C-alpha cells in the first residue's frame, strides 16, 4: 500500500498561486477559503537576506494530532495512501482538530464540517496527480509514494537537502521542501 | 530577522485562531463548577453516612443544582458545534486517543450519578412530586438509610467530580500546537479552580437561600426545585465556616498551580515563553493578574481568612469574586491559548 507524500522545490516556486486556484476549482472550495496557500519567508539581515517561497497545505502527517483528538473518528488516516481525510458525515464541528493542527491547514466549511486538503485522492485513484501538482507552471511540485525507493519523490529527497514544517512538533509531516 | 507572509485567509483561522468563542469557556467553567459541587456533595454524603445529621450539610443537596448547571454547560457545548445535527456520532464510537471522546462517555456516567444524587432529595425540594409519587421518598430513604449505599454514592460523586474537573483541563492540554495549553498542570489547575468555584456556588446558594418552605404546588414547586434546590433550613455558622475553610485550601492550591504553570511556561521552549507572555504581559495580562490572580484568588483568600477569624462578617463577596475569577481563568486560557502557536526557528 502506498504512503503518499509531496516534494516541493522552493528554488523553482515563484508564488504564482496557480496551485491555489487549481485546488479551489478542482475541489469546489467555497469562496473566501483555501486548502493551499503561498507562504513567503525572508530570513537574515540586510543585505544578507534569503527568500523562500512555499506552496503550503495539510502535511498529511505520519503522526497526525488532528486524528488523535477527533472524538468521532471523522478525521482519519485513509488506508490507501495513508492520507489524512475528514469524513463530513461523521464530523460534529467541535473544531478540536483545528486547534490541534500546528499548520493551520483546516477550516470550518460553510456547511459546518471541517475541511482541508485531500491530496486530491479522487484524482490520484484515477492515476492523475493532485490538481495543484498538475498545473504548476515551474513543475516545482512532485507527488508520489514515499515508501517506494524508486519513486521520483524519493529520488529528489536523496539528491537535495530538504526540510519539513515545524518538525519539533513531532507530527512527521509528509510534505517536504527542497532548499 | 524572520518575516513570514501568507496568502491564507480562512475565516476563524487567520490572522489568529479564533474557532472557540464564549461557548467553550462557559462549558469548561460550568464543567469545573459541577465537578467541585460533586466533590463537596460526596464529602457531605460521607459525613451523613457516618451518622451526622444531613440537615446541616446543604452541599448534599447540590446535585440537583449541579444537574441543572451541567445542562447549561452542555447547551453551550452544543451551540459551539458547527455540524450539530451529527452530534450523535460521538456516541457511536470510542476513540481512546481523544480526550473529548472519553470525556463524553464520562459525562454520561456523571449525568447518571448526578441524577441519582439529585433524585434522593427531589421529594423534599418538590413536595408536590413527593406526595404524588410516594415511591420516590421510599426509594430515597432506602438509599439515605443505608450507609453503605450512601458511601458508594459519595465516592462515585467524588471520583467522577475529580475526573470531570481534571478532564476540563486535559481537553486543552493534549493539543501540542498550542504551547499555552500544552502543560499537564492545566488538569489539576482547572480541577482546583472548579473545586473553589463549586464551594463558592454552594456558599452563595446557602446564603441567598430563602428560609420559606418550598412551594407546594405542581408548577411553582417544580420551579422552586430548580432555583432553590438546597435544604429549606439555613445552614449553621459552623457548616458555613467548614465550607469557607475548604475554599481557602482550594484557592491556595490554585495559586500554587498558577505559579507552577508560569514556571513551566517560562522554563520551556521559546514557543512556550512567548505563549506565557500573552498572559503575563500581553493582551490578556490585565484579566490574568487583575481578575484571576488578585480578584479571583488573593482577595477571596484574605477576606475568607478574616471571616474565619470573625474579624469581618460573612458576606457573599468572596464567593462572587471566586466565580468571576474562575470563569475568567477559562476565558483567558481558551482565548490566549488559541492565540499561542509554535514559533518558527528564526535561524541565523
Chain A residues with CB inside 8 Å of B80's CB?
94-95
Q: What percent of chain A has pLDDT over 70?
A: 100
Residue B136: domain span = 23-339
In a domain, B66, yes or no: yes
The answer to the question of residue B344 being in a domain is no
More confident residue, B343 or B172: B172
Q: Are residues B3 and A37, on separate chains, in Cβ contact within 8 Å?
A: no
- Residue listed under C-alpha cell 513567503: A40
Q: Is A93 left (phi over 0), alpha (psi -120 to 50) or beta?
A: left
Q: What is d(CA A133, CA B29) in angstroms, rounded to the nearest whole number?
A: 46
For the segment A18-29, what is each residue's pLDDT rounded down to a tens digit?
999 999 999 999
Asked if residues A59 and A105 have their Cβ atoms less than 8 Å apart, the reply is: yes
Q: Which three cell numbers stand for residue A177?
A: 521542501
- The answer to whether A166 contacts chain B (CB < 8 Å) is yes
CB-count burial class (<10 Å; 0-12, 13-18, 19+) for B159:
middle
Domain boundaries, chain A: 4-178
Distance CA A57, CA B176 (A): 19
- Per the CB < 8 A criterion, the answer to whether B312 and B306 are in contact is yes
* pLDDT, tens digit, 9 for 90 and up, residues A75-110: 999 999 999 999 999 999 999 999 999 999 999 999
**Overall fold of domain A4-178:** Alpha-Beta Plaits (3.30.70)
Binned at pLDDT 50, 70 and 90, residue B213 comes out as: low
Average pLDDT over residues B271-291: 97
Long-range CB contacts for residues B234-239, cutoff 8 Å, separation at least 24: B234/B206, B234/B209, B235/B56, B235/B58, B235/B206, B236/B56, B237/B314, B238/B56, B239/B56, B239/B57, B239/B58
Q: Does A73 touch chain B (CB under 8 A)?
A: yes
Are B87 and A104 inside 8 Å of each other by CB?
no
Q: Are strands A75-77 and A37-45 parallel, antiparallel or unpaired?
A: unpaired
Listing DSSP states for B133-181 in one string gives: -HHHHHHHHHHHT-HHHHHHHHHHHHHHHHHHHHHHHHHHHT-TT-TTT
Task: Give pTM, 2 decimals.
Answer: 0.92
Q: Which of A44, A65, A93 sits opposite B82 (nearest CB)?
A: A93
CA atoms of B264 and A172, how far apart (whole Å): 25
Interface test with B, best of A55, A93, A179 (most B CBs within 10 A): A93
Confidence of residue B62 (pLDDT cuts 50, 70, 90): confident
Pairwise CB contact (< 8 Å): B3 & A42: yes
What is the DSSP code (8-state) at residue A3?
Answer: B
pLDDT of residue B19: 96
Chain A residue with minimal CA distance to B8?
Answer: A37
Using the beta-carbon criterion (under 8 Å), do A71 and B341 form an inter-chain contact?
no
Dihedral sign (CA A121, A122, A128, A132): negative
Whole-number Å distance between alpha carbons of B300 and B278: 25
The three-state secondary structure class of B322 is helix
Q: How far is CA B297 from the centre of its chain?
A: 15
Q: Which residue has the cell 471566586?
A: B322
The answer to whether the CB atoms of B177 and A37 lie below 8 A apart is no
| A16: nearest CA partner in chain B | B7
CATH code of residue B59: 1.20.1630.10
Please state, in angstroms and rounded to a whole number, the distance separating the CA atoms of residues A100 and B75: 23
Q: What is the ipTM of this complex?
A: 0.92
Please, which pLDDT band fits residue A63 given cuts at 50, 70 and 90? very high
- In eight-state DSSP terms, residue B289 is I
pLDDT of B263 over the 60 cut: yes
Nearest CA among B28, B171, B164, B169 for reference residue B99: B171
Mean of the per-residue pLDDT values of chain B: 88
Q: How many domains does chain B have?
A: 1
Amino acid at each position: 500500500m502506498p504512503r503518499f507524500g509531496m516534494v516541493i522545490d522552493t528554488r523553482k516556486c515563484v508564488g504564482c498561486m496557480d496551485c491555489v486556484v487549481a485546488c479551489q476549482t478542482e475541489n469546489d472550495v467555497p469562496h473566501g477559503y483555501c486548502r493551499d496557500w503561498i507562504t513567503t519567508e525572508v530570513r537574515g539581515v540586510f543585505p544578507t537576506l534569503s527568500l523562500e517561497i512555499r506552496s503550503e497545505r495539510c502535511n498529511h502527517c505520519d503522526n497526525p494530532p488532528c486524528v488523535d483528538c477527533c472524538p468521532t473518528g471523522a478525521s482519519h488516516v485513509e488506508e490507501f495512501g495513508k492520507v489524512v481525510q475528514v469524513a463530513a458525515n461523521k464530523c460534529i464541528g467541535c473544531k478540536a482538530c483545528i486547534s490541534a493542527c500546528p499548520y493551520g491547514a483546516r477550516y470550518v466549511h460553510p456547511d459546518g464540517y471541517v475541511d482541508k486538503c485531500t491530496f486530491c485522492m479522487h484524482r490520484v485513484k484515477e492515476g492523475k496527480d493532485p490538481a495543484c501538482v498538475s498545473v504548476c507552471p515551474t513543475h516545482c511540485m512532485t507527488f508520489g509514494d514515499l515508501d517506494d525507493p524508486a519513486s521520483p519523490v524519493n529520488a529528489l529527497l536523496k539528491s537535495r537537502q530538504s526540510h519539513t514544517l515545524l518538525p519539533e512538533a513531532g507530527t512527521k509531516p509528509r510534505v517536504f521542501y527542497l532548499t | 530577522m524572520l518575516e513570514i507572509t501568507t496568502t491564507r485567509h480562512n475565516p476563524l483561522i487567520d490572522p489568529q485562531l479564533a474557532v472557540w468563542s464564549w461557548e467553550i469557556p462557559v462549558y469548561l467553567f460550568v464543567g469545573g463548577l459541577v465537578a467541585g459541587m460533586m466533590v463537596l456533595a460526596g464529602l457531605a454524603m460521607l459525613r451523613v453516612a457516618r451518622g451526622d445529621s444531613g440537615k446541616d450539610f446543604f452541599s448534599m443537596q447540590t446535585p440537583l443544582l449541579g444537574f441543572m448547571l451541567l445542562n447549561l454547560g452542555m447547551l453551550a457545548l452544543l451551540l459551539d458545534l458547527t455540524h450539530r445535527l451529527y452530534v450523535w456520532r460521538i456516541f457511536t464510537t470510542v476513540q481512546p486517543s481523544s480526550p473529548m471522546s472519553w470525556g463524553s462517555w464520562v459525562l454520561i456516567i456523571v449525568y447518571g450519578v448526578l441524577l441519582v444524587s439529585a433524585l434522593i432529595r427531589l421529594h423534599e425540594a418538590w413536595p408536590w412530586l413527593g406526595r404524588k409519587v410516594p415511591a420516590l421518598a421510599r426509594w430515597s430513604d432506602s438509599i439515605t438509610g443505608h450507609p453503605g449505599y450512601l458511601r458508594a454514592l459519595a465516592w462515585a460523586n467524588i471520583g467522577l467530580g475529580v475526573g470531570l474537573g481534571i478532564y476540563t483541563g486535559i481537553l486543552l492540554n493534549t493539543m501540542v500546537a498550542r504551547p499555552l495549553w500544552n502543560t499537564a498542570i492545566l488538569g489539576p489547575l482547572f480541577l482546583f479552580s472548579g473545586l473553589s468555584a463549586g464551594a463558592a456556588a454552594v456558599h452563595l446558594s446557602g446564603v441567598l437561600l430563602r428560609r420559606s418552605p418550598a412551594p407546594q404546588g405542581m408548577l411553582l414547586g417544580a420551579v422552586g426545585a430548580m432555583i432553590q434546590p438546597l435544604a429549606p433550613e439555613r445552614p449553621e455558622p459552623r457548616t458555613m465556616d467548614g465550607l469557607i475553610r475548604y475554599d481557602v485550601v482550594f484557592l491556595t492550591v490554585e495559586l500554587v498551580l498558577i505559579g507552577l504553570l508560569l514556571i513551566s511556561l517560562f522554563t520551556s521552549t521559546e514557543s512556550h515563553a512567548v505563549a506565557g507572555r500573552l498572559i503575563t504581559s500581553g493582551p490578556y495580562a490585565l484579566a490574568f493578574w487583575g481578575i484571576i490572580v488578585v480578584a479571583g484568588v488573593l482577595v477571596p483568600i484574605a477576606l475568607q481568612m478574616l471571616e474565619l477569624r470573625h474579624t469581618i462578617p460573612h458576606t457573599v463577596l468572596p464567593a462572587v469574586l471566586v466565580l468571576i475569577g474562575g470563569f475568567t481563568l477559562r476565558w483567558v486560557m481558551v482565548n490566549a491559548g488559541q492565540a499561542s502557536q509554535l514559533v518558527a526557528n528564526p535561524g541565523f
